[in-house]
Amino acid sequence: MNALLEQFLSESRDFLQGIGEKLMQLEDEPDNTEFMVELFRFVHTLKGNSGLFDFPEMTRVLHASEDLMDSVRNGRVNYSQTLADQLLEAMDFVSVLIDEIEGTGELSNQYTNTSAALAKALRALIIDTNLGSDSEAVAILLESSGALEESVEFNVSELELPEATAMQSYRDLKIGNSVIWLMYTPDPECFFKGEDPFFLVRQIPEVIWSSITTSNNAPLAEMDAYDCKLTFQVITSADISELHELFRYVPEEVRFEIITQANDLISPMGEHNNEPVYDDFIEQAQTLLAKNNTEGLRQLTSTMLELSSPALWCSSALRWLLLILELDETNGALHSALLESLHTFSLTIPIIESVVSDEKLLAENDTVHVETVTNAKIDEPTESNSVHLSKEEQARVNAIIHSQKEILNLPNTNNAWLVGRLKAVALTLKGCCQALHKNEALENLDEALNDALAQSSSEPLLVWLETYSKDFESLVEETVETAEITTPAQITNDEVIQETQKPIALKATESEANTEKLDASPEIKFNRRSEDASAAASKTLKVDQEKIDRLMNLIGEMVVAKNALPYLANRAETVFGVRELSREIKAQYAVINRVAEEMQDTIMQVRMMPVSFIFQRFPRMVRDISRKLGKEVHLVLEGETTEADKNIIEALADPLIHIVRNSLDHGLESPEVRAAAGKPAEGKLLIRASQESDRVLIEIIDDGKGIDPDVIKNKAYEKGLIDETTLERISDQDAVNLVFAAGFSTADVISDLSGRGVGMDVVRSAVEKVNGTVGIESQTGKGTRLFLSLPLSMAVTNVMIIESNKQIFGVPMDMVVETVRVPFNQIRNIKQKQTTVLRGRIVPLLSLNDLLAQNVEQVANEDKEFATLIVRVHGENVGILVDDFRETVDIILKPMVGILGGLSGYSGAALLGDGSVLMVLNPRELI
C-alpha cells in the first residue's frame, strides 16, 4: 500500500472520530454554530481526500453528507435527531469501506447499492425540510439530486421498440438470456467531471437496441455545448451484475428494469389495411390450432405472409406468430389471441404479468460477485512538453490569463491587500511571459505595475493585458483550430468565470492516473517529503506502535546490560584485585544509570495515552443503547485527559464497555420507573478518571436502582457459591462483592436479578491481568459506584526474588503483603491443609514446590523456620512457603508468548543483570 493511501486511511479514521464526536456534542447543543461549522469542515475535508482516490462509493456518500451539512450550516435544513442518525449511519458505512480498503487495498463493487441508497437518504433530508418553504428550491433539488423516479411504473410495451428489436429480445428471453432495459440520464454537469456518457454506454455488452435523445431545445445560438441533456435507453441481454459494475460510478443516474415477461414484447405494428381479408385464413388457422397441428399452422402462416405486404400490421402479427410458434409452441391461447388480433388490429395477450424490478432480484441474489473493475473513462492522450504548447497547456495559459483579467476587473476597493494583489497579478503574468518567451510584453509589464501601484488602480495592468493578451490568444489560435476558447475583451464577470472554469474543471477529475503515478516509488518520495517538511507541518508525529515497542525493548535491554556493571565492578575488585578500576566502573555506572532511567522515563511518557481514547466511544454507545432500551441517560465524562500506558488503556477498553453496558441495561431504570420512584426521568451516568499517585482511578457512577444485597446473597447461595452459614453472616458489602465471583453470572441472573453481575468476573480478571483492582459500592434505590484502579504503567515491575528448590523466581511486589519466617512448630494441619496463626488470624499455607508440582519438601533455615511470603489473593491473605528470600529488583516484564503463553502460573519472564532469565510467578493463578 502506498504512503499516500496509508495517510488517507489514517487521517480518515481521525475525521470519522471527529465527526462522531461533533454529532454527539451537537446532540447536547443543537444550536452551537461552532460545532456545526466544525462538523461541516470535517465532512468536507474527508470528502475532498476521498476524491483523490478511486473510491466512488465512499465519495458519493460523503458528498451527500457534505451537501446535507452545508444546508444545515446555512440554516436551510434544521438539525434533528433523524439527521444525526442518518449521518452516523453514513459514517459507519464509510468506516466499513475504510476497513475494506485497508484490508484489500481496494473497494469491491458490492457497496454500490448501499452507497447509492445512503446518498439518496441523505439527500432526501435536504429536500424534506425544504418542503413547503420554497417549492422552487425543492424542484431544483429534486432535479439535481439525480434521483430517478423509480415509482413510475415501467412498461416495456410503451417503449415502442422496433419489431426486430422486440423479436430479438423475445428470442433472448425465450432461450434463457436475461433481457434488461436501462435508462441512463447523465448529470447535466457530467462533462465537467471528465465523464463521457457515450463512451460508457458503448461499453454495454450485448446491446439489442438503443435510443438516444436529447432534451436540448434551445436555439442553436444559445446552446451550451457543455450542458449534458442526453438520455440513453438501451436494451441488452447482458448480465445485470455486469451492468451494475459498468455503472458503478453513476448508479443514481441509471434505472434498470429486468424484462421477465417475454409476452410483453409482442406488439405487432404497421399500416392498418382497410378491409381485412384474413377471415378465411383465421378460420382455417384456428381449426389447425384446435387440432394441435403446429406444423400445418406454420406453413399456412408462412404462405399467408408471402401474400401480404410486409408493411402491414397484419404481416407484423403473422411474423410474430411464426416466431412464437417456433419458441413457444404449446401456448395455444397466445397463438389464438394473435390470430384474433387480425380482426381488430389490437392484441390482447392472455395473462399479462408485470415487470419485476431488478432490485427485488438483487435482494435474493445479493452475493453475486463480480471481479474486475473497468473504468469507463477515456484515457486522455498524454502530450509531451515540447516547444509547442499542447491543447491542454494552452487551455491552462488561458485559464491563468483570464483569472488575472478577472482579478483586475474586481473593484479597486482600497483595502490593505490591494497592493499585494496587484503585485501578485503582475508576478503571475511575468511568470507566464517568461514561460512563453514573451519578451516584449515582459519589458512593459514592470512599467504597468508601477503605474498601477502609483494610482492604486488595476487600470494600467488591464491596459497591458488588453495590449498583450492577443499575444497569448494568438498563441492559442495559431495552434488550436477548434474553438475560440479565449473570450473577447468586453465580457462580463460571469462569463469569465464560466470560461475560465471550463478548461480547468473539464480536466479536474481522473484521479486514478494520479494515484498510479504516485505509486511508482512511494518509499523514496515519502522519505524526501519527510525531510522537506522539516519544520513539520503539525507538531505531532504519528509513529508505528511497533517502533515504540522496539524502542522500549531496546531500552529494557540496556537497563539489563547496565545492571551488569556492578557485577563487573565487583569482579574487578575481588577477582582481579584492581580497586581503582572498580571505582571507575562504579562512577561510569552512575552516569549510565541516570541516562538509562531518564530514557526509560521518556519512553514511558511516549507510551502514555489519555483515557479519552476509550471515553470518546461512550457518547455514541450510551446514546445508541439507551435509545434502544427506551431510557433517558445523561452521560458525564470527567478527567478525560488523565493518562496511562497504552497497554493499560487498551486493556481497560473492554471491561469499561462491559460495565457501562451493564449500567445502562440493569442499573438505570426506565423513565416511568424513575418517575414513580421520585427520581428525575433522565438517569445520570458519570464516568470519571483521575490519577492517584502512581495509579489511575476510574469510576463509573450511576443513580440507578443499585444492587439489592439480599437478592445477590440468595442467588449466590442457590448457585452454591456460598454456604448457609455465610449466607446468614455475610455483610451487605461482601454480598455485593459476590457479583465478581466466578460463576455468579449466568443467563438467568441477567433476567431475574436485573442488577449487576453480567460477566463481572470477566471484568475482574481482565483488570487483574494488568495488575489492577476493581471494587463496587451500591445503595439500593440510589445507585451504584464501580471503581477500577490501575497502574499508570506496566513497563517496569518491581519484583522480589525468592528461591525454591534451587531455582529463583520473581514475585510482583504489589502482591506481597509481607514476608515472615514461620517456625516449623507453628504450622498446624487443619483438614490436611497447612495453616498458621499470624497476628491472631488464621492464614492458609501453601508450599511453592507443591504449587509448581515439584515433589520436594521446602527447605527451612537453621532455626527450623520456613521463609513465607504473605500474598493477597482475592482479598484474602495466603502464605506461600519458599526456601529463601532474596533482593527486590526492577525488571522489564515480558509476557510469555507461544506455547509458554499458556502457562497461567507465570506472568512473564525478565532478564537479570547477569544475563540469566527470571521467571515471574503469578500467585493469583497459581493458587
Partner 1 sequence: MGIEYKKALAIFSENVSVEDAEGLLDWLVKNPKGKINLAACTHIHAANLQVLMVVKPTIAAESKDENLQKWLNWALAN
Partner 2 sequence: MKNILVIDDAATVRMYHCNILIEAGYHTEEAINGIEALEKALTTHFDLYIVDINMPKMDGYGFLKEVRSQKDINQVPAIMVSTESASNDQVLAYSAGANLYLVKPVRPNDLLSYTRLLLGEGA
The only residue of 47, 255, 631, 646 in contact with partner 2, by rule CB under 8 A: 47
Beta bridge partners of 637: 687
Q: Would you state the cell numbers that stand for residue 107, as one nine-digit string?
A: 473497494
Rounded least distance, CB 400 to partner 2, Å: 6
Q: Where are the alpha helices (DSSP H) in 663-708?
A: 671-676
| The one among 380, 601, 748, 857 contacting partner 1 by CB under 8 A | 380
Q: Does 16 bind partner 2 (CB under 8 A)?
A: no
Q: By the 8 A CB rule, do 730 and 718 touch?
A: no
Q: Which does 8 bind (CB under 5 to 8 A by kind): partner 1, partner 2, none?
A: partner 2
Assess contact for 188 and 227: CB atoms under 8 A: yes
Residue 406 partner contact from partner 1, partner 2, none using kind-dependent CB cut-offs of 5 to 8 Å: partner 2
Which of 51, 671 has the CB closer to partner 2? 51
Asked if 778 and 736 count as a contact pair (C-beta separation under 8 A), the reply is yes
Assigned C-alpha cell, 799: 519484583
Selected binder of partner 2 within 225, 454, 537, 830 (CB under 8 A): 537
> What distance in Å separates the CA atoms of residue 648 and residue 643, rounded to the nearest whole number?
10
| 49 lies in the binding site for partner 2 (CB under 8 A) | yes
Residue 88 CA to residue 82 CA, distance in Å, equals 10
When CB distances are held under 5 to 8 angstroms depending on the partner's kind, the choice from partner 2, partner 1, none that residue 888 binds is none
Q: What is d(CA 534, CA 529) in angstroms, rounded to the nearest whole number? A: 9
Residues numbered 228-247 forming contacts with partner 1, rule: CB under 8 A: 228-230
Name residues contacting partner 1, limited to 502-531 (CB under 8 A). 503, 506
432 or 882: CB nearest partner 2: 432
Which residues in 201-220 contact partner 1 (CB under 8 A)? 201-202, 209-214, 216, 220
Beta-strand relationship, 917-921 and 807-812: parallel
How far apart CA 785 and CA 701 sit, in angstroms, is 4
Amino acid code (one letter) for 805: N
Residue 223 in the binding site for partner 1 (CB under 8 A):
yes
β pairing state of 695-702 and 833-838: unpaired
**Which of 197, 251, 667, 706 is in the footprint of partner 1 by CB under 8 A?**
197
**Min. distance of Cβ 74 from partner 2 in angstroms?**
12
Nearest approach in angstroms of CB 403 to partner 2 is 5
Pick the stretch among 191-199, 317-325, 338-346, 442-450 that binds partner 1 (CB under 8 A): 191-199
Rule CB under 8 A: choose which of 403, 616, 647, 773 binds partner 2: 403
Residue 769 contact among partner 2, partner 1, none, beta carbon within 5 to 8 Å by kind = none
Rounded CA separation 37/838 (Å): 67
Q: Closest separation between CB of residue 195 and partner 2, Å?
A: 15
The least CB distance from residue 506 to partner 1, in Å, is 6
What are the angstrom distances between the C-alpha of 730 and each of 684, 726, 743, 766, 875? 30, 5, 18, 26, 15
DSSP assignment string, 789-832: EEES--SEEEEEEEEETTEEEEEEGGGEEEEEEEEGGG-EEETT
Q: Is residue 158 within the footprint of partner 1 (CB under 8 A)? A: no
Q: Are 172 and 237 in contact (CB under 8 A)?
A: yes
Which partner in partner 1, partner 2, none is near 454 (CB below 5 to 8 A by kind)?
none
Residue 202 binds which entry of partner 1, partner 2, none, CB below 5-8 Å type-dependent = partner 1
Contact 923/881 with Cβ under 8 angstroms? Answer: no
Secondary structure element (H or E) that encloses residue 208, with its range: strand 207-214
Task: Pick the binder of partner 1 from 333, 356, 483, 677 (CB under 8 A).
Answer: 483
Contact flag: residue 549 with partner 2 (CB under 8 A): no
**Least distance from C-beta 234 to partner 1, angstroms?**
9
Residue 427 binds which of partner 2, partner 1, none (CB < 5-8 A, kind-dependent)? partner 2
Cα 822 from Cα 880, distance rounded (Å):
11
Say which entry of partner 1, partner 2, none residue 896 contacts (CB below 5 to 8 A, set by partner kind): none
Q: Which of 446, 484, 710, 723 binds partner 1 (CB under 8 A)?
A: 484
Q: Residue 569 binds what, of partner 1, partner 2, none (CB under 5 to 8 Å, by partner type)?
A: none
* Interface pick for partner 2 out of 117, 361, 407, 551 (rule CB under 8 A): 407
274 binds partner 2 (CB under 8 A): no
Give the separation between CA 761 and CA 756, rounded to whole angstroms.
11
Rounded least distance, CB 191 to partner 1, Å: 5
Per CB under 8 A, contacts with partner 1 among 325-344 are none
Answer yes or no whether residue 374 interacts with partner 1 by CB under 8 A: no
d(CA 807, CA 477): 93
User: Least CB distance from residue 529 to partner 2, whole Å?
Assistant: 5
Residue 468 C-alpha cell reads as: 498583450
Q: Phi, psi (5° rounding) for residue 798?
A: -95, 120
Minimum distance, C-beta of residue 452 to partner 1, in the bound complex (Å): 33
Tell me which of 196, 459, 640, 850 binds partner 1, using CB under 8 A: 196
The span from the CA of 345 to the CA of 192, in Å, is 49
For residue 690, the surrounding DSSP H or E stretch is strand 683-692
Nearer of residues 354 and 493 to partner 2, judged by Cβ: 493
Angle formed at CA 17 by CA 13 and CA 18, multiple of 5 degrees? 115
CB of 58 to partner 2, least distance (A): 13
Give the H/E segment covering residue 212: strand 207-214
* CA distances for 677 relative to 38, 273, 474, 670, 674, angstroms: 41, 89, 87, 11, 5
Chain center to CA of 394: 41
Residue from 85, 392, 573, 665 touching partner 2 (CB under 8 A): that is 392
* Number of residues lying near partner 2 (CB under 8 A): 79
Binding residue for partner 1 (CB under 8 A) from 304, 395, 408, 816? 395
Residue 183's nearest CA partner among 266, 257, 246, 272 is 257
CA distance 180 to 237: 6
Q: Is 225 in the site for partner 1 (CB under 8 A)?
A: yes
What does the buried/exposed string (b/e) look like for 650-678 if buried means 16 or more CB atoms within 10 Å of the residue's CB? Answer: ebbeebbebbbbbbbbbbbbebeebeeee
Is the alpha carbon torsion for 182, 188, 190, 193 positive or negative?
negative
Cα–Cα distances (Å) from 114 to 39, 111, 544, 667, 749, in that order, read 23, 5, 33, 37, 40
Q: How many helices (H) and strands (E) does the chain have?
A: 34, 23
Among 1, 311, 352, 378, binds partner 1 (CB under 8 A): 378
Considering CB distances under 5 to 8 angstroms, the limit depending on partner class, which of partner 2, partner 1, none binds residue 210?
partner 1
The C-alpha cell that represents 609 in the structure block: 495515552
* Shortest distance, position 449 Cβ to partner 2, whole Å: 9
CB of 143 to partner 2, least distance (A): 17
Residues 182 to 221 in contact with partner 2, rule: CB under 8 A:
192
Which of 758, 786, 785 lies closest to 774 in space, CA to CA? Answer: 786
Query: 410 touches which of partner 2, partner 1, none (CB within 5 to 8 A by kind)?
Result: partner 2
Binding mask 506-525 toward partner 2 (x if CB under 8 A, else -) reads -xxxxx-xx--xx------x
- Picked from partner 2, partner 1, none, the partner binding residue 229 (CB below 5 to 8 A depending on kind) is partner 1
C-beta of 193: minimal distance to partner 1 in Å? Answer: 11
Q: Is 421 in the site for partner 1 (CB under 8 A)?
A: no
Q: Per rule CB under 8 A, is residue 421 in the interface with partner 2?
A: yes
The yes or no reply on residue 3 touching partner 2 (CB under 8 A) is yes
Report d(CA 8, CA 310) in Å as an integer.
65
Binding site for partner 1 (CB under 8 A): 186, 191, 195-199, 201-202, 209-214, 216, 220-221, 223, 225-226, 228-230, 378, 380-381, 391, 395, 481-485, 503, 506
